[in-house]
Structure 1
Amino acid sequence: MRFVVTGGGTGGHIYPALAIARGLQQRFPGCAIMYLGTNRGLEADIVPKAGLEFHAVRAVGIKRSLSLHNLKVPWEALAGYREARKLIRHFVPRAVVGTGGYVCGPVMLAAARLKIATLIHEQNALPGITNRILSRMVDRVAVTFEDSLKYFPRRAGVRLTGLPVRPEVLSASRERAREKFCVQENELLVLSFGGSQGARSLNRAVAEALGSLAGRQGLKLLHVTGSGQHAEFMQMIQSQVFSTGLPGNITVVPYMYEMPEALAAADLVISRAGAATLAEITVRGLPSILVPFPYATGNHQEHNARALVSRGAAEMIKDAELSGAVLVKMLDKLLGDRDRLGKMAEASRRLGKPRALDDILDLLEEIIRGKG
């Protein structure tokens, strides 16, 4: 069995593609997988380190504003299509899976025209332009959010699968995790983070909120600043009220290597609203306060957040409205109402898709069988 996997540009496209590739290797032992990306995206560095065969093809996106850049798009797209077609014809895969990004355009188009089984996976509640176009050409579409179904044509054969999450997130023991982070049975742990690089506005709000949260009985806060912003965060809080060190109920770290355990131990999460983050939050059944990144393409993080808010699983604070006072007010409202927090957790759990990877692979097998 041979498979081609493609997706590029950002981690939001690459990591789901890698999860699917690992799933294929487990379901079809000994299968060969080729990953197609670009030389400019993060995939050129990440994929070879993951041990997969990697080839680059040309791909370029259309700028939303008037630009001379757009004049070369048709030529680059044609060149990328020819490169992808040549690689696919030589590799002879049983199926091609795409997870988004400009590179999916030429790769998935080439596979579809070669009559190879094709599947695209859309991570966000607001689908990207590339996947919306490709949905009219590929065999099936898998989506993470129910809210994205309306953006695809009915004949696209769309199925709600969810987004694959790391196995460690699913298997982490809450009891052992709470012991690890020294959380007592009657305490609530709030976990806040802004991604591996951190989120400056979220760091600023947490820094402003610490004075109100410090020393609170029954509350622990674990805040992850992001490696690049840790020194700046510590400087912020030292200049305010904590010149002698952090209170015992507050823990601040630059990076959380044990994020699966941290999620397992948490009672409430404060974070951005990337699709992968929300998949992990909901699969653990965690209520959340979401602060969408306002500069994400198409403002898709706000669409992701609203998908949870509308179902009672989360609250949202817009980045422009975020401050320490606003954050404390929201925390007081939620932490002071255990019943509501429990209902939010139930709503989050209902949205979680622990079988996302299996469902995607099942759908892919279904397509392959249909192709004979």
Structure 2
Amino acid sequence: MKPYKVIVSGGGTGGHIYPAIAIAKEIQARHPDAQFLFVGASNRMEMEKVPNAGFDIEGLWIAGLQRKLTVDNLMFPIKLISSLWKSHQIIRKFKPDVVIGTGGFASGPLLKTAVWNNIPALVQEQNSYAGITNKLLSKGVEKICVAYDNMETYFPASKIVKTGNPVRSDLLDIDSKRTAALTKYGFSSANRVVLVLGGSLGARAINELISKQLPLFKELGVQVLWQTGKLYIDTYMHLASDTVRVMDYINEMDLAYAAADIIISRAGASSVSELCIVGKATLFIPSPNVAEDHQTKNARAIEKEDGAILISENELDKKFDLVFTGLINDEKVRLKLGRNIKKLALPNATQDIVDEVEAIIKNTK
């Protein structure tokens, strides 16, 4: 049997890139002779992250539409035609058995071209609110792997498979790592730890909140592991102390999660999936600056199951002090939130998605 040939397209943010890489690595583990090609947007972070993970990548000249009239918006039709043409060339040259899309600017033209060329395709939708690209692609692809219930609102029910979102395997057993985690960050086991996450670039509203609330944390005896993001590290590094660790990026996320008693986080799809696996009390502060406000919808889906607390950015001044103080002082509530969010975890997502990929290839060969 000839080696599998797989094109994977996903990028723009880590939430699209890391699931794409995880899926490719699982296929590679099962089929060591498989051949891979990633397709991304030529000026986005996937052009660095994918080669670092050991895969080849081709870039398309594509970008998303902005919410206001810009030169980039006026260029969009030209970029789209260029990307469709290059996608056609890539597919004709590589001759894939299957094309997998995990979202991002490049996945639209690439998967659309695959469908036009009768190449079987699979889409992985991470969010509880489907993006416009995946909605447009849904009629032509073979399967749509989702992480939330009730996605029939956006996709044909017959094509939906609930798999969850790929997460790092090192998060599956963090309880055994707590002592090592506290040692790594120099924290005391006698005091609670709050982990603050705003994404790899950082979240301005969350960083401003934490800097303002440091006196409250000190009063409550709370230790802080604070990922500011690389855009904000210079602004907040001076606030580091014996009980406050300030970092631009956390590489060993399993240890960060293991150290935490409470987690303050954005609500991107990958973060939500990781936090379900981790099973710690979580306070979501969704970004309001994303397409279709999907982070709020992701967080609300967890809050509805009594698995997390949601505070919108415009409510932080009114609510945060009271909510956080109550949470830090009530272990029963923290444990309940942790148990409930963990019930929503889908730890076998990567394997289940690759099962679907294999089935598609076998059914079309």
Q: TM-score scaled to structure 2, two decimals? A: 0.89
Q: Which residue of 1 aligns with 2:304?
A: 310
Corresponding residue pairs, total: 360
Give the structure 1 partner of residue 293 of structure 2.
299
Tell me, yes or no, if the aligned pair for 2:302 and 2:341 is still in contact at 8 Å: yes
- Contact 2:112–2:137, Cα closer than 8 Å, also in 1: yes
Q: Aligned AA for 1:158?
A: I
Which residue identity lines up with residue 364 of structure 2 in the other structure?
A: K
The corresponding residue for 2:207 is 203
Asked if 1:91 corresponds to 2:85, the answer is no
Pairing partner for 2:164 from 159, 162, 171? 162
Contact kept in structure 2, 1:209 and 1:327, CA below 8 Å: no
- Structure 2 CA distance, aligned partners of 1:200 and 1:71? 29
Q: C-alpha distance in 2, partners of 1:88/1:354?
A: 32
* Distance apart, 1:48 and its partner CA: 2.6
Is the contact between residue 59 and residue 102 of structure 1 (CA under 8 Å) also seen in structure 2?
Answer: yes
Question: How far apart, CA to CA, are the structure 1 residues paired with 2:218 and 2:66?
Answer: 46
Within the alignment, does 1:328 sit opposite 2:321 as a pair?
A: yes
1:100 equivalent to 2:93? Answer no
**1:290-309 per-position Cα deviation (integer Å, ceiling 9, x unaligned):** 11111112211111111111
* C-alpha separation in 1, matches of 2:195 and 2:236: 16
Which residue of structure 1 aligns with residue 362 of structure 2? 369
After TM superposition, the structure 1 = structure 2 runs for residues 260-271 of structure 1, keeping only pairs within 5 Å, are: 260-271=254-265
CA distance 1:68–1:31, shift in 2 (3 Å): same
1:137 to 140, 149, 164: 140
Partner of 1:276: 270
Query: Which SS does the other structure have where 1:214 is aligned?
Result: helix
- What's the CA shift for 1:225? 2.3
CA change 1:62–1:214 in 2 (3 A) is closer
User: Using the alignment, how far apart are the partners of 2:208 and 2:70 within structure 1?
Assistant: 36
CA-based RMSD of the aligned residues comes to 2.4
Identity between Structure 1 and Structure 2 (%): 34
Q: Tell me the distance in 1 between the aligned counterparts of 2:309 and 2:96.
A: 44
Distance in 2, matches of 1:196 and 1:234, equals: 16
Partner residue of 2:156 out of 153, 165, 171: 153
Report the counterpart of residue 240 of structure 1 in structure 2. none
2 CA distance for matches of 1:78 and 1:200? Answer: 36
Unpaired segments ≥5 residues, structure 2: none
Contact 1:313 1:347 in 2 (8 A): yes
2:42 corresponds to 1:39: yes
CA drift of 1:182 comes to 5.0
Cα offsets for 1:98-143 (capped at 9, x unmatched): 0112321221122223222210111122111100100111000011
CA–CA distance in 1 between the matches of 2:147 and 2:244? 34
List alignment gaps of at least 5 residues for structure 1: 238-244
CA contact (8 A) 1:4 1:93 kept: yes
Q: Distance in 1 between matches of 2:106 and 2:226?
A: 36
3-state SS in 1 of match to 2:343: helix
Give me the whole-angstrom Cα distance separating, in 2, the residues matched to 1:254 and 1:74.
37
Q: Quote the Cα distance in structure 2 between the aligned partners of 1:168 and 1:61.
A: 33
CA distance in 1, matches of 2:38, 2:160: 24
Q: Would the alpha carbon gap of residues 63 and 214 (structure 1) be closer, same or farther in structure 2, given more than 3 Å must change?
A: closer
1:159 to partner: Cα distance: 1.3
Distance in 2 separating the partners of 1:74 and 1:233 = 41
Paired letter, 1:165: V
Query: Deviation at 1:69?
Result: 6.0
